């Protein structure tokens, strides 16, 4: 038992025993004890009155002077109050610093509750969205930003990436919005003016497209003359090798121009690829393999393992471009006679998987996050004598994005790579024919390889 409670017991005992002895001289022991208890109750009532008065008018002052349990209670409550006000002061300072920092931000910042109603916003958001603290605090954000794109973004609850929408106040202004969950069912909504960035990107795309178009015609003329020169009479023999080299470089530049035009088109078309056209994947992949095999001149065996016969909903021309680039890369960076395996299948989640596996030089893990950037080069040794345009994987990335798909890359340096295109279940149509066993394709390819070996 604490000293405060012992003092309180001593006080009760003193009042009851003292008044009992006083009244005992008159033979009124019981009345004396009752008088002691009544006196203690009056003391307790007085302390309660002082405590209530202090809470009402003097909580921030020093507590009333007392002893025993009441002195301990006054001191303890005073410590709690000081601790509470200290925390409140620190919290207020943090809130003020947060508001000052967010007010200084050029991006519009809004704090929303669980129902996406506005709790607070900074000056940039007030200017971008024409908000008023007296009118719009407590209003749902969807009532103030009436954009179908933003509504779909909020309802989809996929907040990993921002969404771009036209400003509700100015159709010439493009905003980037991102919703960030935090705390207990609260959200931070950020708006950024990306009009200038979009204009610069549009200018870059227009420049690349126009320059590529202008280069196409002279390259076609040069290529035609270079093809005709070897057949000309009287051409010195020492000019044949330079002409063949010029033909190769012209073809490379033509491929670069075509890739630039394709990439510019993919970047310009902001809408998703059509999901109405069902593309026969077996037929498409076989065509891609046939064309790449001809370009490779049979230097690498290509094996196709069809593990599913489901068509894919999308744009056939774009898919052909993406698959061609993946298979061409596998052939380009594989040693001569190293096999390349292509497959089309579905996983347990119903997603479509297009996969290209090679046994080439592989890619160091540090390069994997960047190889889909345009003109990104892993190193000079990897592409020595085999370099492409540097745009193939960028085209693949944009095609997959337009089809709602993503690219996964597994690679071990010196052992090979696996490029995997994963299409969402919504892009996979129902199968129209039975799936051919994968072993048949494997046996057919093996038989062809054996026949070629026998002929050699």
- What is the CA angle 404-406-408, rounded to 5? 170
The residues near 164 (Cβ < 8 Å, ≥ 6 apart) are 149, 174, 175, 176, 177, 194, 198
For residue 340, the tally of other CB atoms under 10 A from its CB is 26
Confidence of residue 408 (pLDDT cuts 50, 70, 90): very high
Whole-number pLDDT of residue 384? 44
Q: Which of 14-23, 42-51, 425-434, 441-450 has the lowest mean pLDDT?
A: 441-450
Q: What digits encode the pLDDT tens for the residues 7-53?
A: 777 777 777 777 777 777 777 778 777 877 787 788 778 777 777 77
| pLDDT value, residue 453 | 37
The predicted-structure confidence for 233-264, as pLDDT tens digits, reads as follows: 777 778 888 888 888 888 878 877 877 777 77
Cβ contact 333:358 at 8 Å: yes
The highest-level CATH class for domain 197-268 is mainly alpha
Delimit the domains of the chain by residue range. 3-95, 105-193, 197-268, 278-455
Is the model's pTM score more than 0.85?
Answer: no
Is residue 429 classed exposed, middle or buried when 0-12, 13-18 and 19+ CB atoms within 10 A define those classes? middle
Res. 451: pLDDT tops 50: no
d(CA 15, CA 297): 114
Question: How do residues 308-352 score in pLDDT, each as one tens digit?
Answer: 888 999 888 889 989 998 998 888 888 888 889 999 998 888 899
**Selection from 313, 284, 283 nearest residue 403 by Cα:** 313
Give, in degrees to the nearest 5, the angle at Cα 93 between 92 and 99: 90
What pLDDT, in 10s, does the model give residues 283-294?
999 999 998 888
pLDDT for 307:
85
Residues 276-282, mean pLDDT to the nearest whole number: 85
Q: Which residue has tokens 């200017």?
A: 127
Q: What percent of the chain has pLDDT over 70?
A: 86
**Nearest-5° angle of CA 452, CA 453, CA 455?**
65
Query: Can you tell me the mean pLDDT for 125-153?
Result: 87
The domain 105-193 having CATH identifier 3.30.450.20: the answer here is: yes
Report whether pLDDT(355) > 90.
yes
456 pLDDT above the threshold of 50: no
CATH of 278-455, one of 3.40.50.11060, 2.40.50.100, 3.30.565.10, 2.140.10.10: 3.30.565.10
Helix 68-104 to helix 3-24 angle, to the nearest 10 degrees?
150
């Amino acid at each position: 038992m604490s000293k405060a409670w012992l003092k309180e017991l001593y006080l009760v005992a003193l009042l009851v025993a003292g008044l009992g002895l006083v009244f005992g001289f008159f033979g009124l022991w019981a009345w004396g004890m009752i008088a002691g208890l009544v006196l203690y109750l009056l003391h307790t009532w007085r302390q309660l009155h002082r405590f209530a008065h202090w809470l009402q008018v003097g909580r921030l002052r020093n507590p009333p002077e007392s002893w025993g349990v009441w002195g301990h209670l006054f001191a303890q409550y005073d410590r709690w109050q000081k601790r509470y006000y200290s925390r409140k002061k620190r919290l207020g300072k943090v809130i003020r610093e947060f508001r000052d920092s967010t007010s200084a931000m050029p991006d519009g910042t809004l704090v929303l509750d669980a129902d996406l109603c506005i709790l607070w916003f900074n000056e940039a958001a007030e200017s971008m969205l024409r908000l008023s603290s007296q009118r719009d605090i407590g209003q749902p954000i969807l009532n103030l930003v009436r954009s179908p794109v933003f509504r779909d973004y909020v309802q989809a609850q996929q907040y990993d990436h921002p969404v771009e929408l036209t400003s509700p106040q100015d159709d010439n202004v493009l905003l980037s919005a991102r919703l960030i969950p935090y705390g207990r069912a609260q959200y931070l909504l950020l708006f950024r003016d990306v009009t200038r960035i979009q204009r610069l990107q549009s200018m870059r795309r227009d420049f690349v497209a126009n320059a590529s178009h202008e280069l196409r015609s002279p390259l076609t003329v040069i290529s035609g003359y270079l093809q005709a020169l070897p057949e000309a009479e009287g051409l010195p023999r020492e000019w044949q090798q330079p002409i063949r080299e010029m033909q190769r470089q012209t073809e490379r530049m033509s491929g670069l121009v075509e890739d630039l035009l394709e990439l510019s088109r993919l970047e310009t078309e902001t809408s998703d690829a059509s999901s109405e056209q069902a593309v026969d994947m077996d037929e498409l992949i076989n065509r891609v393999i046939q064309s790449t095999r001809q370009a490779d001149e049979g230097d690498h065996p290509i094996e196709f393992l069809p593990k599913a016969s489901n068509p894919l909903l999308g744009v056939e021309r774009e898919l052909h471009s993406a698959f061609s680039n993946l298979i061409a890369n596998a052939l380009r960076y594989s040693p001569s006679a190293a096999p390349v395996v292509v497959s089309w299948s579905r996983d347990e989640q119903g997603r479509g998987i297009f996969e290209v596996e090679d046994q080439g030089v592989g890619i160091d893990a540090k390069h994997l996050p960047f190889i889909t950037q345009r003109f990104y080069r892993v190193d000079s040794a990897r592409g020595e004598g085999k370099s492409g345009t540097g745009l193939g994987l960028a085209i693949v990335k944009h095609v997959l994005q337009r089809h709602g798909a993503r690219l996964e890359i597994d690679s071990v340096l010196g052992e090979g790579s696996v490029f995997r295109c994963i299409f969402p279940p919504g892009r996979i149509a129902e199968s129209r024919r039975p799936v051919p066993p994968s072993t048949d394709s494997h046996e057919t390819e093996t038989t062809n390889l054996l026949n070629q070996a026998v002929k050699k």
